[in-house]
Structure formats: C-alpha cells, structure tokens
A and B are shown apart, each in its own frame.
Chain A
Amino acid sequence: MTTPLSLSGLDLPRRNGELAFDAPWQGTVFALAAAVIEHAFGGDREPFRQQLIKAIAAEPDRPYWESWTAALEALVPALPERSTP
C-alpha cells in the first residue's frame, strides 16, 4: 500500500449511517463471543455459528444481538477446557 488514502479510517464505518453497536452491551456480547471462539475453541467459529443459527431459527424476529446472547448462553455448557493459557 503506497498511496495514502485521503479518507479518515475513523469516519467511514459510520459513513453508511450505522454504528457497529447501538448499545454497550451489544459490543460486550460480541466481544465475549470472540473471546470464547479464540480462547475456548482455538479460533474455531463453527460451534458458536451453529448456536447462532439455532437461536435465530428459534425466534426469527428476536433482536439480532439478543440472538447472540442466547447463542452464547447455549454454548456455555458445551465449553471445552481452556485451550490456550
């Protein structure tokens, strides 16, 4: 990458009028899922994805990040022992 871009990296994610998260808890549940994927499943996203698919199928009209919350709750009993120190 040699050409400096004139666009600020900070304003563009909002350029389409939407923030990544509408409320702090949404960012938290997103980060918690990332933590579980990274630290409990060694980077394998599939166990969480399967729970998310189930959570969305169970209540298709539920707000999106609430489905993430439900998916993460469903995943907790299946958590393997921590795979990285």
Chain B
Amino acid sequence: MSNSRHHPAPMSPVEQRVAALEALLTERGLVPEGFIEQITRRYESEIGPMNGAKVVARAWADPEYKMRLLADGTAAIAELGFGGPEGDHMVVVENTAATHNVIVCTLCSCYPWPVLGLPPAWYKDPPYRARMVREPRALLAEMGCPLPEEAEIRVWDSSAEVRYLVLPQRPPAAEGMAEAELAALVTRDSMIGVARL
C-alpha cells in the first residue's frame, strides 16, 4: 500500500486534488516530515475497536471501574491509556435488558476514535444517519439486532462536544471468564449499539 503513493498509474481527479492539498499545506509548513505516514499507520494498525473491547472487558470484570466509567468516561478510558482526538468528552451508556443504546452522528461522522478507530462505511452513510433517528427499531432489526417491543431504545447523536460508547451487556456465558477472554467477546458493532452479544 505504501508503494502506491508513487504508483505510475495516472491519478484520478480526487487523487490530484489531495496531492494539490498536500503540496499546498506542506509548503505552508503544516505537514511535518513523515506526518502522513505516521498518522495513517496509527489508524490502520494501532487504534481500533480492540481498545474499546479492553474498556468493556475491564468494566465487566471490575464493578468499581464500571462505576468510574459510567460517571466519567474520558477519565476511566484514560486509565487504560486511551485518549486523544475525538475522545476528549467520552460518555459511556450502559445497555441493560430494558434499555438499548445506539450511537449515530446525524450531521457528519463523529465517532469515538480512541476506542473504536475510524467509523465503518455504513456509519457514515446517509441512510444510517437519518434512519437511526427516525426508525431505530426497524433499522436495528434490519441490521440483525431485533429488540423486544418492551425494550426502550435510546439513540445518542454524537456532537462536537460529546462522543458516546455503548457498554454492551455481558453475555451470560461469560461468567467467570478472565478479562482477556472477555475482551475477545466484544465486537465493534456491540459498542456502537447495532448488535447485542
């Protein structure tokens, strides 16, 4: 992938625009040497849903950590070493048998990067952004997450101020598991709220 930055094939229009931006911003001194490679590598390999899975596993394993996590998400997540852009004001919302939480960004694609990485394609698409607010129950069912009629659905619209993370319910089968095993059960979609475990 890194070689294709110097690929001999002609550039597409959008590639040309990005190359022009890169040249302009570099000339203005805004792009330090190696910065692009460093950022893309970080988001391709170091930052992703495994971070959120560790947070969820810790909350399942340690009731006091869970209390701290629900009281101040940013601080409790920082305890595990995760933070940074798009994670300044983290609010963790807990799923229960009676309440199901799901996150969306209606205006653009705000998403808790430090714990989930970059958002999946469908999260950024207009149908998800519109329908999760308008008809969450129907959309969740279509996405393979049917909920009982009596379950309350809470839809959290991410904003400039707040990023949400769903704390999924611990599956019954997880009783007695070690934290590392618990983390392996946690999926990205369960932390967005479009799946239950």
Contact = CB atoms under 8 A, between A and B. Distances in A.
Interface residues of A, number: 49
Contacts of A40: 30
Interface of B: 1-2, 4-5, 12, 14-15, 17-19, 21-22, 24-25, 28-32, 35-36, 38-40, 43-50, 53-54, 80-81, 85-86, 107-110, 117-118, 120-121, 124-126, 160, 178-181, 183-184, 187-189
A12 B17 CA distance: 32
B29 to A, nearest CB: 6
- The CB with the most chain A CB atoms within 10 A, among B1, B31, B178, B187, is that of B31
B80 A25 contact: no
A12 B85 CA distance: 20
Given A5-B183, A32-B18, A45-B85, A16 B24 contact: no
B183 to A, nearest CB: 6
A10 B45 contact: yes
A13 B5 contact: no
Interface of A: 1, 3-7, 9-10, 12-13, 15-16, 18-21, 23-25, 27-32, 34-37, 39-40, 45-46, 49, 52-53, 56-57, 60-61, 64-66, 69, 72-73, 76, 79, 82
Contacts of B80: 1
